[in-house]
Structure 1
Amino acid sequence: MSYALTVFDKKGELLLNESFTFPNDQEAIDHGKKLLEEKSYSTTTHRLVRAGKLLLFYR
């Protein structure tokens, strides 16, 4: 399945736009969280989606 992780700053500008494929939601969520931590975006507005389904969200 295809997933999209996006991160925005407080002004709404796109900071990160990553797409990746995983066999299930949990693996994608784990990868997304790891990527956010690596790039120091875990407390920046972000979302992880799959086909319109919101899997992770932080504001």
Structure 2
Amino acid sequence: MPLFTLTAFEHTGEKLLDETFEAVNEEEAKKIGEQKLREHNCLDKTHRCTTSSGKLILFHR
């Protein structure tokens, strides 16, 4: 399964979340990423989710 990396930041640049996970496809990775952001109270923070090749699939600033 493909690997995805989810990262969330505070406005100061402090990294709040940095997690790698597997998903069947990009759509599932978006759902998993949003769930993890909710769990860590980071949904409204600056965040991104990328594929292992560097493609950006989820972003919020």
TM beyond 0.5: yes
Q: Which ranges in structure 1 are unaligned for 5 or more consecutive residues?
A: none
Tell me the amino acid that sits aligned with residue 28 of structure 2: E
Identity of aligned residues (%): 41
3-state SS of 2:34 partner: helix
2:14 aligns with 13
Instruction: Give the TM-score normalised by structure 1.
Output: 0.94
**Cα distance, 1:10 vs. partner?**
0.7
2:60 aligns with 58
2:27 aligns with 26
Q: CA RMSD in A?
A: 0.7
> 2: distance between equivalents of 1:15 and 1:42?
11
Tell me the amino acid that sits aligned with residue 13 of structure 2: G
Instruction: Give the TM-score normalised by structure 2.
Output: 0.91
Structure 1 consecutive aligned stretches of length 4 or more whose deviation exceeds 2 Å: none
